[in-house]
Structure 1
Amino acid sequence: MSPRKAAALRGSDDGLRDHLVATAQRLLAEQGAAGLTVRAIARAAGVADGVLYNHFSDKDELLAAAVGAHVAAAHADLGTLPAPGTATVRQNLAVYLRAGLTLHRAVLPVFAGLLATPAVLTRFAESRARDDDWRELLAAYLRAERDLGRLAPAADTAAATAVLVGICHDVVLTAMLPGATSPPGGSSVAVDVDAVDVDAIVATLLAGIAPPA
């Protein structure tokens, strides 16, 4: 960042705060949280170290905001998910599962890098609005489809949600294990969403919650 641009941002509290969050978000995505210091964030943002404390009580607060921005961006990248009553449940669940795999590929490495600093994750959890979370959208979708009669009346939609979320965790976390193939550097994970047999998974799930023929 150029000194001229940094100086311009210093004149706007909101602009500078957003710039610091965006910088921390980029560093988290590129290199993870390990070794990410206030000085490193300040240098990447083109400001003095002490400027961060004009907007955040400590580094944990800044990182929590950065994680929130990263998760929000990952959700935004998913686009609009299918609405209840459209297409078929099988087609829609395949879309939801692919979206979940893409989302978890983007956010789980960042969360894993913050396990040594639980205060950041706690602050993120306390500030996170859950109504637009992929898992909550999936759960609401399944409940709505059951109400529409497109799933069995006694279908345990909470269990079905947990199964699909668990598959996302398993695929991405397995790719993060030592020895797994990952792109060099940063916190990204090599997960080929298209290689996951989404259709087979959805078919197996629906065998248990689909309405009687």
Structure 2
Amino acid sequence: MSPRKAAALRHTDGRSLREHLIATAGRMISARGTAGLTVRAIAREAGVADGVLYNHFADKEELLANALRAHVRAVEAELGELPEPGSGTIEGNLRAHLDYGLALHRGILPAFTGLLAQPAVLTRFGELDGGGDEWRDRLRKYLRAERALGRLAADARVDAAAAMLVGLCHEAVLSGLLPHTGRARPPAVRDVIDVLLSGIS
């Protein structure tokens, strides 16, 4: 093992070199976004030779897609816990979910903005399996659990309700990515939840 590779691995806390590279790139995205992020810059930050990255990733796009996933996870970790089914009120819990989703999308927007000119990275990111633990997946699971508990109507179309809330967050992101389209004032969270509850409660 080369001294440079050994030095890099001394700081990975038991992680593989692949995991170390993803974590390093994820930190760089968190700190400065994705614009201008190069393989050379990632390798230098990780303490390895440039070519080492290609021993663990098919190409730069695969590394950046995984790093972007790590960045999203880091943003999520700062947002706190989501409410459990059966606790509090449905209205309050949905507000918490929507606030979480909006904060998540605001937090990750700068990184995605820098990738507009790299659609291959976004495609690779979309192909990654989040293990069913994405916010939208947790929102769907929450609504299904509330329906099973009888706190929502038995025939409530909870997947459609979840899609509406996720779509609102995506609209906020698209407005930021495409400012020339004009930014409509987003609806108040209270209004969105009231409309949603009228259909599923």
Which bracket does the TM-score occupy, shorter chain normalised?
0.7 to 0.9
Q: Paired residue for 1:80?
A: 81
Q: Paired residue for 2:200?
A: 209
Q: Map 1:53-72 onto structure 2 (within 5 A).
A: 53-72=54-73
Q: Aligned equivalents of 1:58 and 1:29: distance in 2?
A: 21
Query: Shift in Å at residue 126 of structure 1?
Result: 3.2
Is contact 2:156-2:200 (8 Å) kept?
Answer: yes
Secondary structure of 2:36's aligned partner: coil
Q: Which amino acid aligns with 1:158?
A: D
TM-score of the superposition, structure 2-length normalised?
Answer: 0.80
TM-score of the superposition, structure 1-length normalised?
Answer: 0.76
Q: Paired residue for 2:148?
A: 147
Q: Identity of counterpart residues, as a percentage?
A: 56
* Runs of 5+ consecutive residues of structure 2 not aligned to the other structure: none
Identify the structure with bigger relative contact order (alpha carbons < 8 Å, sequence gap 6+).
1
Q: Paired residue for 1:8?
A: 7
* Runs of 5+ consecutive residues of structure 1 not aligned to the other structure: 181-194
Query: Shift in Å at residue 111 of structure 1?
Result: 3.2
With over 3 angstroms needed to count, the CA separation of the structure-2 counterparts of 1:52 and 1:200, relative to structure 1, is same
Is contact 1:130-1:136 (8 Å) kept?
Answer: no
Q: Aligned equivalents of 1:50 and 1:175: distance in 2?
A: 35
Alignment counterpart, residue 200 of structure 1, candidates 178, 191, 195: 191
Query: Shift in Å at residue 50 of structure 1?
Result: 1.9
Q: Aligned equivalents of 2:173 and 2:123: distance in 1?
A: 22
For residues 13-54 of structure 1, the C-alpha deviation after alignment (integer angstroms, 9 at most, x for no partner) is 945433322221133234433332211222333432222223
Q: Paired residue for 1:52?
A: 53
Q: Aligned equivalents of 2:32 and 2:169: distance in 1?
A: 22
Q: Aligned equivalents of 1:15 and 1:66: distance in 2?
A: 15
Aligned positions, number: 193
Is contact 1:75-1:133 (8 Å) kept?
Answer: no
With over 3 angstroms needed to count, the CA separation of the structure-2 counterparts of 1:148 and 1:10, relative to structure 1, is closer
- Farther off after superposition, 17-26 or 156-165: 17-26
Query: Shift in Å at residue 72 of structure 1?
Result: 1.9
Q: Aligned equivalents of 1:81 and 1:202: distance in 2?
A: 16
Is 1:34 the counterpart of 2:39? The answer is: no
When the two chains are superposed, the root-mean-square deviation of aligned CA atoms in Å is 2.9
Q: Paired residue for 1:129?
A: 130
Q: Could you list the structure 1 runs, at least 4 aligned residues long, displaced by more than 6 angstroms after superposition.
A: none
With over 3 angstroms needed to count, the CA separation of the structure-2 counterparts of 1:178 and 1:121, relative to structure 1, is closer
With over 3 angstroms needed to count, the CA separation of the structure-2 counterparts of 1:16 and 1:132, relative to structure 1, is same
Query: Shift in Å at residue 88 of structure 1?
Result: 0.7
Q: Which amino acid aligns with 1:201?
A: V
Is contact 1:146-1:155 (8 Å) kept?
Answer: yes
